Structure 1
Amino acid sequence: TLVPSHALELVESSAVQQAVRDGRIESRRTPNAPLDVLVQHLVTIGLGGGFRPDELLEEIRSTAAYEYLSEENWRWCLDFVSGGGPSLSAYPEYRRCGPDAGGVWRVASKQIALRHRLNIGTITADASVLVQYGPAPPGQKLGVVEESFIARLKPGDSFWFAGRILEFVRLRELVAYVRPAKGRSGAVPRWDGGRMPLSTTLADAMVEQLQRAAEGRYDTPELRAAEKMLRLQARWSHLPTPTTLLAETLKSRDGWHLFLYPFAGRNAHIGMASLIAWRAAQKTASTFSIAVNDYGFELLSADPRDWAAMLPEMIAPRAIHDLTHETLASLNA
Structure 2
Amino acid sequence: MSQPAPPTLPPEIQAWFDARGWRVRRHQHDMLSKAREGRHALLVADTGAGKTLAGFLPTLCDFASSAGGAVHDGLHTLYVSPLKALAQDVKRNLLTPIEEIGLPIKVETRSGDTPSNRKKRQRERPPHVLLTTPESLSLLLSYPESADLFAGLKRVVIDEVHAFATGKRGDLLALALARLQAISPELQRVALSATLANPLSFQEWLCPQLDDGTGEIRAADLVLGETGAAPEVEILLPIEERVPWGGHAGRWAVGQLYEAIKANRTTLIFTNTRFLAEFIFQCLWEENEDHLPIGVHHGSLSTEARRKVEDAMARGELRALVATASLDLGVDWGDIDLVVQMGAPKGSSRLLQRIGRAGHRLDTASRAVLVPGNRFEFLEAMAAKDAVDEGQRDGEEFRAGGLDVLAQHVMACACAGPFNEDDLLSEIRSSLAYSWVDKTGLQRVLSFVESGGYALRAYDKFRRIVRGKDGVWRLSHPDQAQRHRMNAGIIVDSEMLMVRFKNGRKLGKVEERFAAQLSAGDTFFFAGMSLEVEVIKDMDVVVRAAKKSATIPSYGGLRLPLTTHLSGRVQEMLSDRAGWGRFPDDVREWLEVQDYRSIMPAPGQLLVESFPRAGKHYTTYYTFEGWNANQSLGMLITRRMEDRGLMPGGFVANDYCLAVWGLKPVDDPKPLLSPDILTHEFTEWVTESHLLRRAFREVAVISGLVERQHPGKRKTGKQVTFSTDLIYDVLKKYEPDHVLIEAAWADARARMTDVGRLADLLERSQRELVHIELDRVSPLAVPVMTMIGREAVPQGGVDDELLIEAETLAGEAMRIGPE
State TM-score, norm by structure 2: 0.25
Q: Which residue pairs with 1:289 in the alignment?
A: 650
Q: Does the Cα contact within 8 Å between 1:213 and 1:230 map onto a contact in 2?
A: no
Of 80-89 and 241-250, deviating more is 241-250
Partner-residue secondary structure (3-state), 1:75: helix
Quick one: distance in 1 between partners of 2:587 and 2:622?
A: 15
Q: Which residue pairs with 1:69 in the alignment?
A: 437
Q: Which residue pairs with 1:58 in the alignment?
A: 426
Q: Which residue pairs with 2:590 in the alignment?
A: 233
Instruction: Report how far residue 62 of structure 1 moved.
Output: 1.0
Quick one: distance in 2 between partners of 1:23 and 1:104?
A: 49
Q: Which residue pairs with 1:176 in the alignment?
A: none
Query: CA separation of 1:268/1:255 partners in 2, compared to 1, >3 Å: closer, same or farther?
Result: closer
Quick one: distance in 2 between partners of 1:300 and 1:93?
A: 49
Q: Which residue pairs with 2:489 in the alignment?
A: 120
Matched, 1:193 2:557: yes
- The 5 A counterparts of 1:96-115 are 96-98=464-466, 105-106=474-475, 108=477, 110=479, 113-114=482-483
Partner-residue secondary structure (3-state), 2:559: coil
RMSD, matched Cα: 5.0
Query: CA separation of 1:204/1:113 partners in 2, compared to 1, >3 Å: closer, same or farther?
Result: farther
Query: CA separation of 1:290/1:108 partners in 2, compared to 1, >3 Å: closer, same or farther?
Result: same
Q: Which residue pairs with 1:150 in the alignment?
A: none
Matched, 1:4 2:4: no
Partner-residue secondary structure (3-state), 1:299: strand
Query: CA separation of 1:35/1:206 partners in 2, compared to 1, >3 Å: closer, same or farther?
Result: same
Q: Does the Cα contact within 8 Å between 1:279 and 1:314 map onto a contact in 2?
A: no
Instruction: Report how far residue 251 of structure 1 moved.
Output: 2.5
Task: Return the letter of the residue paired with 1:264.
Answer: E
Matched, 1:314 2:314: no
Q: Does the Cα contact within 8 Å between 1:43 and 1:107 map onto a contact in 2?
A: no
Q: Which residue pairs with 1:300 in the alignment?
A: 661
Q: Does the Cα contact within 8 Å between 2:642 and 2:648 map onto a contact in 1?
A: no
Match of 2:579 among 191, 202, 215: 215
Partner-residue secondary structure (3-state), 1:291: strand
Instruction: Report how far residue 258 of structure 1 moved.
Output: 3.9
- The 5 A counterparts of 1:17-96 are 18=386, 21=390, 25=394, 28-31=397-400, 34-47=402-415, 49-50=416-417, 52-53=419-420, 54-96=422-464
Q: Does the Cα contact within 8 Å between 2:625 and 2:656 map onto a contact in 1?
A: yes
Q: Does the Cα contact within 8 Å between 2:450 and 2:465 map onto a contact in 1?
A: yes
Query: CA separation of 1:19/1:118 partners in 2, compared to 1, >3 Å: closer, same or farther?
Result: farther
Instruction: Report how far residue 125 of structure 1 moved.
Output: 6.6
Task: Return the letter of the residue paired with 1:36.
Answer: D
Quick one: distance in 2 between partners of 1:278 and 1:58?
A: 48
Q: Does the Cα contact within 8 Å between 1:248 and 1:260 map onto a contact in 2?
A: no
Q: Does the Cα contact within 8 Å between 2:493 and 2:557 map onto a contact in 1?
A: yes
Instruction: Report how far residue 66 of structure 1 moved.
Output: 2.8
Quick one: distance in 2 between partners of 1:330 and 1:63?
A: 36
How high is the sequence identity, in percent, across the aligned residues?
Answer: 20
Query: CA separation of 1:116/1:272 partners in 2, compared to 1, >3 Å: closer, same or farther?
Result: same
Instruction: Report how far residue 67 of structure 1 moved.
Output: 2.9
Instruction: Report how far residue 107 of structure 1 moved.
Output: 7.8
Q: Does the Cα contact within 8 Å between 2:630 and 2:654 map onto a contact in 1?
A: no
Q: Does the Cα contact within 8 Å between 2:636 and 2:677 map onto a contact in 1?
A: no
Q: Does the Cα contact within 8 Å between 2:575 and 2:601 map onto a contact in 1?
A: yes
Task: Return the letter of the residue paired with 1:4.
Answer: G
Quick one: distance in 2 between partners of 1:209 and 1:107?
A: 61
Q: Which residue pairs with 1:242 in the alignment?
A: 602
Q: Which residue pairs with 2:567 in the alignment?
A: 203
Quick one: distance in 2 between partners of 1:84 and 1:267?
A: 33
Quick one: distance in 2 between partners of 1:281 and 1:67?
A: 44
Q: Which residue pairs with 1:15 in the alignment?
A: 383
Query: CA separation of 1:45/1:236 partners in 2, compared to 1, >3 Å: closer, same or farther?
Result: farther
Task: Return the letter of the residue paired with 1:59.
Answer: E
Partner-residue secondary structure (3-state), 1:216: helix
State TM-score, norm by structure 1: 0.53
Q: Does the Cα contact within 8 Å between 1:208 and 1:241 map onto a contact in 2?
A: no
Quick one: distance in 2 between partners of 1:300 and 1:329?
A: 22
Quick one: distance in 2 between partners of 1:213 and 1:114?
A: 62
Q: Which residue pairs with 2:237 in the alignment?
A: none
Deviation by residue 1:83-136 (Cα, 9 ceiling, x = unmatched): 223222222222234579x9674584657744664451234679xxxxxxxxxx
Q: Which residue pairs with 1:262 in the alignment?
A: 623
Residue segments in structure 2 that go unaligned for 5+ positions in a row: 1-338, 345-372, 496-511, 515-554, 686-819
Query: CA separation of 1:213/1:112 partners in 2, compared to 1, >3 Å: closer, same or farther?
Result: farther
Quick one: distance in 2 between partners of 1:328 and 1:90?
A: 35
Instruction: Report how far residue 263 of structure 1 moved.
Output: 1.8
Partner-residue secondary structure (3-state), 1:290: strand
Residue-pair matches, total:
251
Partner-residue secondary structure (3-state), 1:85: coil
Quick one: distance in 2 between partners of 1:109 and 1:86?
A: 23
Quick one: distance in 1 between partners of 2:586 and 2:493?
A: 31
Partner-residue secondary structure (3-state), 2:580: coil
Task: Return the letter of the residue paired with 1:73.
Answer: G
Quick one: distance in 2 between partners of 1:66 and 1:293?
A: 35
Q: Does the Cα contact within 8 Å between 1:273 and 1:297 map onto a contact in 2?
A: no
Task: Return the letter of the residue paired with 2:569.
Answer: A
Query: CA separation of 1:41/1:268 partners in 2, compared to 1, >3 Å: closer, same or farther?
Result: same
Partner-residue secondary structure (3-state), 1:82: helix
Deviation by residue 1:138-182 (Cα, 9 ceiling, x = unmatched): xxxxx969xxxxxxxxxxxxxxxxxxxxxxxxxxxxxxxxxxxxx
Partner-residue secondary structure (3-state), 2:342: coil
Q: Which residue pairs with 1:172 in the alignment?
A: none
Q: Which residue pairs with 1:183 in the alignment?
A: none
Quick one: distance in 2 between partners of 1:248 and 1:229?
A: 24
Of 237-246 and 51-60, deviating more is 237-246
Deviation by residue 1:157-213 (Cα, 9 ceiling, x = unmatched): xxxxxxxxxxxxxxxxxxxxxxxxxxxxxxxxxx97321344544422222244458
Deviation by residue 1:39-95 (Cα, 9 ceiling, x = unmatched): 122123445x34623543332121123335322332332232122232222222222
Task: Return the letter of the residue paired with 1:314.
Answer: D
Partner-residue secondary structure (3-state), 1:73: helix
Query: CA separation of 1:88/1:330 partners in 2, compared to 1, >3 Å: closer, same or farther?
Result: closer
Partner-residue secondary structure (3-state), 1:121: coil
Query: CA separation of 1:217/1:37 partners in 2, compared to 1, >3 Å: closer, same or farther?
Result: farther
Instruction: Report how far residue 28 of structure 1 moved.
Output: 2.6
Q: Which residue pairs with 2:348 in the alignment?
A: none
Deviation by residue 1:266-319 (Cα, 9 ceiling, x = unmatched): 43564478548957996x854432223331112223x4x6x6xx6xx524x67x
Q: Which residue pairs with 2:806 in the alignment?
A: none
Q: Does the Cα contact within 8 Å between 2:408 and 2:488 map onto a contact in 1?
A: no
Quick one: distance in 2 between partners of 1:192 and 1:199?
A: 21
Q: Does the Cα contact within 8 Å between 2:631 and 2:652 map onto a contact in 1?
A: no
Residue segments in structure 1 that go unaligned for 5+ positions in a row: 127-142, 146-190, 219-223
